[in-house]
Structure 1
Amino acid sequence: MMITLADLPGLLPPVIAAAETVGEMLAAEFARRGGPRGGGGHAEVDAEIEVMLREQLLALLPARLLQHARAMQISGESYRLKDTPTECQNMLAKAGYDPDRWG
């Protein structure tokens, strides 16, 4: 099934649910007895979140996933998913995204 531009708004609820799950995972990690796992710029939960997001997001939208932290690409369809918020914000701004109009 080819996803069109008109299909994209329907992807928002499951993407929000995935983001909420990430928040719950981070909260649980920091609530662990002894604090979060890992150190020195690496946290175990980061890898767990990356795998979970990759599986969930690519199931919603076949795409190339550009992961900043690991500098890897997964081949897919004509869409690209980026995992770096600043890069995403810059792409949206260049595309004419108006946060006052779209929320």
Structure 2
Amino acid sequence: MTDPGLRASDADRESVVSSLREQVGEGRLTLDEFSERAAAAYATRTVGELDALTRDLPVPAPPSMPTASRWLVPTMIALAVLLTVGALLAVAGPPTADAMDHMMAQVGRMCG
């Protein structure tokens, strides 16, 4: 736990103001309350004074999945599929007309 008498940094103040801004978005603070608390945050000297500004508010939950992971996992799966198909084509060589006719006949039978 941080010592409440420790001097607050500019980054500490910005973090609290950012948290207050999120609380406005959630509907927990009015714009007037936000303005008052943000002004007080910039005037604080200690971490304890900053903590007092958010003591009556819930701590925001961390996001369930980082933003990068939301697109990274599907991208990696798609890349793996493309590499597998590429490797199979490299081993099998380009399809011949006979192979394509055979494949189309099988598809025709399946689709009926």
Give the structure-2-normalised TM-score.
Answer: 0.25
Larger Cα-atom Rg: 2
Going by fraction, where is helix more abundant, 1 or 2?
Answer: 2
Q: Which has the higher contact order (CA 8 A, sep 6+)?
A: 2
The structure in which a higher percent of residues are strand is 1
